[in-house]
Amino acid sequence: MSEEKNDRGKRNEVFSGNNPQGLPSTNVMMEDFGFEVPVETVPLPSRGVTYPADSPMHGVETLSIRAMTAREEDILTSKALIKKGTVISELLKSCIVDKGFDPDAALTGDRNALMVALRITGYGAGYRVEVDCPACGQRSKQEFNLAELPIKRLEIDPISLGANLFECELPVTKKTVRWRFLSGKEEREISQTAERRKKQGQLNDNLVTTRLTHCLQSVGGITDKNKLSFFIRNMPAKDSLFLRRYIDKNEPGIDMKSWMDCPSCLESSEVKLPLGASFFWPDAE
């Protein structure tokens, strides 16, 4: 394909307020059907600094995505993929133009940014969904603009470039701990395990320690898994809360919060956008 044709590729910024450099788009549909599947660039909240040097995502600030087509609707409706819980991974693999991108290795926040971008390029930025009013509890249908969700970029430095490993000191035990952000795959495994326990009638009463077990990599230089799990179960609640809040506060991603006006009590509140079925299956206009 000629340079000239590549340059004709329609490229928009998916999110307002970002200015990623464009990458060449392909014009497959253009050749025969005169329709161009748009390619857009999406900023990666992690700026690629947590991916190892041999990863195609290392140091990558933006990725290119191709807008969803009917092929991706096949993925969205695949019963097998829904059952396996890999719909979003397959969707991302199918739409990300950059070679070698592994959605399972991507941080949750990077995946979420890509997922929202795919939704915007596929069906537009308007997202109508039912939410509960935090003030009075009344459920109402609200319309949100996904393009206005702010990107939260990574602002703390890993212990070395290309390492998903960060360090901080706990306030009570004064221990220096090293921890990592979870990948989309790990998040999925945690929720699948919780789901399985629920089905078996077991209580999910260990969510805090389960997450910390996945995040925490060393305490005062000790990396032994058994010792770490002992530390996690017995660490002071204040240290545990500090660590969870510190990780949350610094986790790169897309802030899925927006404002709503309640039609019942007329109160304005900030709400977390639910990722319901209509996220990829918008209402008929």
Give contact residues for Zn ion (rule: CB under 5 A): 133, 135-136, 138, 262, 264-265, 267
Side-by-side strand order, sheet with 166-169: 166-169, 176-179, 216-219
**Both tokens assigned to 285:** 């206009």
Q: What is the nearest approach in angstroms of Zn ion to the Cβ of residue 136?
A: 3
CB closer to Zn ion out of 113 and 271: 271
CB closer to Zn ion out of 212 and 260: 260
CB closer to Zn ion out of 28 and 136: 136
Do the Cβ atoms of 133 and 264 come closer than 8 Å?
A: yes
Q: What is the nearest approach in angstroms of Zn ion to the Cβ of residue 258?
A: 15
Question: Which among 95, 144, 104 is positioned nearest to 122, based on CA atoms?
Answer: 95
CB closer to Zn ion out of 12 and 140: 140
Q: What is the nearest approach in angstroms of Zn ion to the Cβ of residue 129?
A: 16
Q: What is the nearest approach in angstroms of Zn ion to the Cβ of residue 274?
A: 16
Q: CA 260 → CA 102, 128, 137, 143, 144, distances in Å?
A: 35, 12, 13, 8, 8
Q: What is the nearest approach in angstroms of Zn ion to the Cβ of residue 208?
A: 30
CB closer to Zn ion out of 182 and 262: 262
Burial class (CB in 10 A: 0-12, 13-18, 19+), 225: exposed
CB closer to Zn ion out of 16 and 138: 138
Q: What is the nearest approach in angstroms of Zn ion to the Cβ of residue 278?
A: 21
Do the Cβ atoms of 64 and 73 come closer than 8 Å?
A: no
Q: What is the nearest approach in angstroms of Zn ion to the Cβ of residue 273?
A: 17
CB closer to Zn ion out of 13 and 132: 132
